[in-house]
Amino acid sequence: MKKLKILIIDDERNAREEIKLLLKSYPDVEIIGEAKNADDAKEQIDIKKPDLLFLDIQMPEKTGFDLLESLDNVPQVIFTTAYDQYAVKAFEVSAIDYLMKPIREERFAKAMEQLKVKSASKNDDRIFVKDRQQYHFISWNKVHLIESLDNYARLFFDDKSVFLKTSLNLLEQKLDESLFFRVNRAQIINLNYIDKIIPLPGGKLKVLLKTGDAPEASDRQSVKLKKLVKT
Amino acid sequence: MKQQLSPKINISLYWKCQFIGWSVAALYWEYRGFTRSTHFSWLLAALQFISDVVIYILLTHLYRNYALRHNFQNLNLGQLLKRIIPGAVVMGVAYTLATTVKLYLFQFWFFQSPVQTYADFFKQNAEAIFIGGTRLMSIWLLAYHMYHYAQREIRTSKENARLAIISREAQLSNLSAQLNPHFLFNSLNNIKALVIDNPKSARRAIDLLSDLLRTSLYNGEIMQISLRDEINLVKDYLELEKLRFEERLQFAINVDDDLVAIQIPRLCIQTLVENAIKHGIAKRKDGGLITIRTEKTGGFVKITVQNPGFLEAGDDGVGLKNLRERLALEYKGRATFAITGELDDIVLATISIPSA
């Protein structure tokens, strides 16, 4: 079985040593690197593509959150912090596991256990977005529609949406082609969410999504979409 | 604002009391003159009234100037009484002299016939006037001084209460600063790693942390400590943080040996150093150097803490706000505190405390 690749990020050497020590009793993991600040970490993440980050929140110049926001694809994350839980809540992070330093072994074991459960549903590319003071992990699988709005891309997922400061063209290049399709100048759809495709008079196509959205494909994209659906 | 206003109000109250008090007294004398005298003159009555008010206000005002110049207002009750009693006698004598001269002159002018010489007039009337005058002056002095004494008592007790609250706050904020969860848990986490890596350092760190905790837990009520003790505390703190930040934290302490015995507000340097680490060292990838200096310049002891970093705009944190308050209260505005952003990414915090 492939080993879980881990990157440890903390500005204090002894704090990193501490994590390494805790990881010693886990044979199926591999520590692929250590980083002492966000910039250093980003470089290593881009090259080494770790599966899991142990990430300190308070670091010089850029915080752990800043780091995650800068990533195109966010690996699994376990936050480590010396703040108490109320202080962590103040960051308004939802659904993120965090360990409080000093870390108890049984708590660490629990975090690793939960991770195994999560990584069973693998192949889950996701991003980390701050929207209106709230941080979200957003899995691309769950994004059914992306709309362009001025300089922002609006991502629709579940019954929520967030704004991402990027142009649709830039975003399109980063997206998985087998998953997303640009139907027109202003909209990108998730192919997994297509319910029905209705031909319109004049050759254009209207796409009905399972969510009820009904974007209309442009002339050029209708042609492409027809090919795509056939294959 | 408050301090500028209060003397103004006091002066106007003082003059009100002077005019009303002496006018009432003078009117009483007029009434007595009117009921007893056989040949009452309105002109004489008016002159008597005006001269009484003017002379006695003048006399007591001179006394007040004297008392102010000799700082009677800052004496304690015993010292004050030692001055009020002879003061009342002296004022009684002055009253007697002024009054007899005035009365003699009025008699001279209005009745044209000097029935007797001033010496005779004085001998005849001095005793009664002196007794009455001393009584009046005693009342005046007591009223004046008791009023100010009471005012001062109220002010000091208010100030003491304020100081107690501030020091309590300082104590609490110090507690939360030193037991600052972030600092405390990071230190413990650091020690946990050191136990395996470097047991000797781990043991040292526990000693340092214990002393810091002891200081913040048990010495809260102490307001002032010697510069020597404060520097030792700061050294412990820096040594502990050095184990955590390693090469990112450098520090230099240059303290003038002649100054180590002076008393300074407890934790004033500690607060600045904590700040220097939190906003200077911890926020920079490569950390930097913290320099602590002391210097004696023209009646002041200057303590500076310098660290790399940018001065962040906005209000002081709790630590600095408390420090400012404590300095203002403990030195009654004669100590100063400033934090400035210098060239080359340097932040400089300076405390100036009057020496001796």
B143 and B268 in one domain? Answer: no
- Would you call B153 helix, strand, or coil by DSSP? helix
The CA-CA-CA angle for residues B18, B19, B24, to 5°, reads 105
B172 domain residue, yes or no? no
Q: CATH number for the domain including A149? A: 2.40.50.1020
A54 and A92 in one domain? Answer: yes
A213 domain residue, yes or no? yes
B280 domain residue, yes or no? yes
The two three-digit tokens of residue B229, written as one number: 């003790």
For residue A33, give how far its alpha carbon lies from the nearest alpha carbon of chain B (Å): 18
B201 domain residue, yes or no? yes
Q: CA A135: distance to chain centroid? A: 11
Kindly identify which residue of chain B lies nearest to residue A39, measuring between CA atoms. Answer: B285
For residue A129, give how far its alpha carbon lies from the nearest alpha carbon of chain B (Å): 23
Q: Cβ of A60 and B196 within 8 Å?
A: no
State which of B162, B191, B226 marks the end of a domain. B162
Note the pLDDT of residue B177. 47
Share of chain A above pLDDT 70, in %: 91
For an interface test with B, give the residue of A9, A12, A88 to mutate (most B CBs within 10 A).
A12
B208 and B115 in one domain? Answer: no
A216 and A168 in one domain? Answer: yes
List of chain B residues whose C-beta atoms are within 8 Å of the C-beta of residue A21: 193, 196
List of chain B residues whose C-beta atoms are within 8 Å of the C-beta of residue A13: 246
A199 domain residue, yes or no? yes
10 Å Cβ neighbour count for A98?
A: 19
Among B189, B282, B285, select the one facing A15 at the smallest CB separation. Answer: B189
A177 and A107 in one domain? Answer: no
State which of A60, A88, A122 marks the end of a domain. A122
Among B194, B196, B284, select the one facing A60 at the smallest CB separation. Answer: B284
List of chain A residues whose C-beta atoms are within 8 Å of the C-beta of residue B186: 12, 15, 82, 101
Note the pLDDT of residue A37. 94
The two three-digit tokens of residue B160, written as one number: 């003491």
How confident is the model over A74-98, as a mean pLDDT? Answer: 70
Note the pLDDT of residue B171. 63
The CA-CA-CA angle for residues A168, A172, A176, to 5°, reads 150
Instruction: Look at B332 and B92; give whichever has higher pLDDT.
Output: B92
Domains: count for chain A: 2
List of chain A residues whose C-beta atoms are within 8 Å of the C-beta of residue B196: 17, 21
Among B192, B245, B282, select the one facing A18 at the smallest CB separation. Answer: B192
User: What are the E-state strand segments in chain B?
Assistant: 224-226, 249-254, 263-265, 288-297, 300-308, 336-342, 346-354
pLDDT over 70 (residue B221): no
Note the pLDDT of residue B110. 76
Query: Are the C-beta atoms of residues A34 and A8 closer than 8 Å to each other?
Result: yes
A101 and A9 in one domain? Answer: yes
A194 and A87 in one domain? Answer: no
Residues 5-24 of B with CB under 8 A from A: none
List of chain A residues whose C-beta atoms are within 8 Å of the C-beta of residue B181: 82-84, 87
A130 domain residue, yes or no? no
Q: CATH number for the domain including B350? A: 3.30.565.10
Residues 232-291 of B with CB under 8 A from A: 243-246, 248, 282-285
Query: Are the C-beta atoms of residues B73 and B67 closer than 8 Å to each other?
Result: yes
A60 and A21 in one domain? Answer: yes
State which of A122, A150, A179 marks the end of a domain. A122
Based on C-alpha coordinates, what's the Rg of chain A? 21
- Would you call B193 helix, strand, or coil by DSSP? helix
Segment A111-133, tens digit of pLDDT: 898 887 766 555 678 888 888 77
- Cα–Cα distance measured from residue B196 to residue B175, given in angstroms and rounded to the nearest whole number: 30
Among B189, B197, B285, select the one facing A101 at the smallest CB separation. Answer: B189
B108 and B201 in one domain? Answer: no
Among B189, B193, B248, select the one facing A82 at the smallest CB separation. Answer: B189
Among A12, A60, A83, select the one facing B285 at the smallest CB separation. Answer: A60
Instruction: Give CB contacts under 8 A, 24+ apart, made by B60-66.
Output: B60/B18, B60/B91, B60/B137, B60/B140, B60/B144, B61/B18, B63/B87, B63/B91, B63/B141, B64/B14, B64/B144
Query: Are the C-beta atoms of residues A156 and A143 closer than 8 Å to each other?
Result: yes
Note the pLDDT of residue B3. 45
Half-sphere exposure of A28 (CA within 13 A, CB side): 7
- Cα–Cα distance measured from residue B234 to residue B40, given in angstroms and rounded to the nearest whole number: 84
- Cα–Cα distance measured from residue A14 to residue B243, given in angstroms and rounded to the nearest whole number: 9
- Cα–Cα distance measured from residue B87 to residue B79, given in angstroms and rounded to the nearest whole number: 12
List of chain A residues whose C-beta atoms are within 8 Å of the C-beta of residue B193: 14-15, 17-18, 21
The two three-digit tokens of residue B247, written as one number: 């090469």
For residue A168, give how far its alpha carbon lies from the nearest alpha carbon of chain B (Å): 35
Domains: count for chain B: 2
Segment A44-81, tens digit of pLDDT: 999 999 999 999 988 999 989 899 999 988 898 898 98
A102 domain residue, yes or no? yes
10 Å Cβ neighbour count for B95?
A: 24
Cis peptide upstream of residue A102 (ω within 30 degrees of 0): yes
List of chain A residues whose C-beta atoms are within 8 Å of the C-beta of residue B283: 60-61
How confident is the model over B202-231, as a mean pLDDT? Answer: 87
A222 and A163 in one domain? Answer: yes
Range of the structural domain that residue A165 is part of = 136-230
Separation in Å, CA A207 to CA A18, A172, A230, B170, B265? 53, 19, 15, 66, 74
Chain A positions contacting chain B at CB under 8 Å are 11-15, 17-18, 21, 36-37, 39, 58, 60-61, 82-84, 87, 100-103
List of chain A residues whose C-beta atoms are within 8 Å of the C-beta of residue B182: 58, 82-83
List of chain B residues whose C-beta atoms are within 8 Å of the C-beta of residue A84: 181
A129 domain residue, yes or no? no
Note the pLDDT of residue B248. 95
Q: CATH number for the domain including A66? A: 3.40.50.2300
For residue B305, give how far its alpha carbon lies from the nearest alpha carbon of chain A (Å): 21
How confident is the model over B155-159, as a mean pLDDT? Answer: 88
Half-sphere exposure of B260 (CA within 13 A, CB side): 10
A33 and A77 in one domain? Answer: yes
B170 domain residue, yes or no? no
pLDDT over 50 (residue B280): yes
List of chain B residues whose C-beta atoms are within 8 Å of the C-beta of residue A39: 285
Note the pLDDT of residue A86. 56
State which of B162, B195, B224 marks the end of a domain. B162
A127 domain residue, yes or no? no
State which of B136, B162, B188 marks the end of a domain. B162
B44 and B17 in one domain? Answer: yes
Burial of B28 (0-12, 13-18, 19+ CB in 10 A): exposed
Do β-strands A205-209 and A194-199 pair in parallel, antiparallel, or remain unpaired?
antiparallel
State which of A87, A122, A157 marks the end of a domain. A122
B67 domain residue, yes or no? yes
Among A18, A39, A82, select the one facing B182 at the smallest CB separation. Answer: A82
- Which residues make beta-bridge pairs with A100? A81
Segment A137-175, tens digit of pLDDT: 888 989 999 999 988 999 999 888 899 888 999 999 988
B329 domain residue, yes or no? yes
pLDDT over 60 (residue B175): no
Task: Please check whether residue B219 touches A, CB under 8 A.
Answer: no
Instruction: Name the band, by pLDDT with cuts 50, 70 and 90, for residue B355.
Output: confident
Instruction: Look at A71 and B177; give whichever has higher pLDDT.
Output: A71
A190 φ/ψ angles, rounded to the nearest 5 degrees: -90, 120
B266 and B221 in one domain? Answer: yes
B213 domain residue, yes or no? yes
B153 and B204 in one domain? Answer: no
B149 and B208 in one domain? Answer: no
Q: Cβ of A102 and B192 within 8 Å?
A: yes
B198 and B140 in one domain? Answer: no
A150 and A70 in one domain? Answer: no
A209 and A103 in one domain? Answer: no
Give the orientation angle of helix B118-178 with respect to helix B199-218, to 10 degrees: 150
Range of the structural domain that residue B329 is part of = 179-354
- Cα–Cα distance measured from residue B232 to residue B244, given in angstroms and rounded to the nearest whole number: 19
The two three-digit tokens of residue A194, written as one number: 């297509």
Note the pLDDT of residue A122. 57
B255 and B145 in one domain? Answer: no
Q: Cβ of B193 and A36 within 8 Å?
A: no
A92 and A170 in one domain? Answer: no
How confident is the model over A104-115, as a mean pLDDT? Answer: 90
Note the pLDDT of residue B114. 60
Segment B26-52, tens digit of pLDDT: 999 888 878 877 777 788 888 889 999
Instruction: Name the band, by pLDDT with cuts 50, 70 and 90, for residue B300.
Output: very high
pLDDT over 80 (residue B227): yes
Q: Which residue has the tokens 């009455």?
A: B132
Note the pLDDT of residue B243. 94
B135 domain residue, yes or no? yes
- Cα–Cα distance measured from residue B93 to residue B184, given in angstroms and rounded to the nearest whole number: 73
B148 and B215 in one domain? Answer: no
- Which residues make beta-bridge pairs with A98? A79
Segment A170-196, tens digit of pLDDT: 999 988 888 999 999 999 999 999 999
Give the orientation angle of helix B181-197 with respect to helix B118-178, to 10 degrees: 50
Least confident of B136-150, B207-221, B229-243: B207-221
C-alpha closest to that of B287 among B307, B270, B305: B307
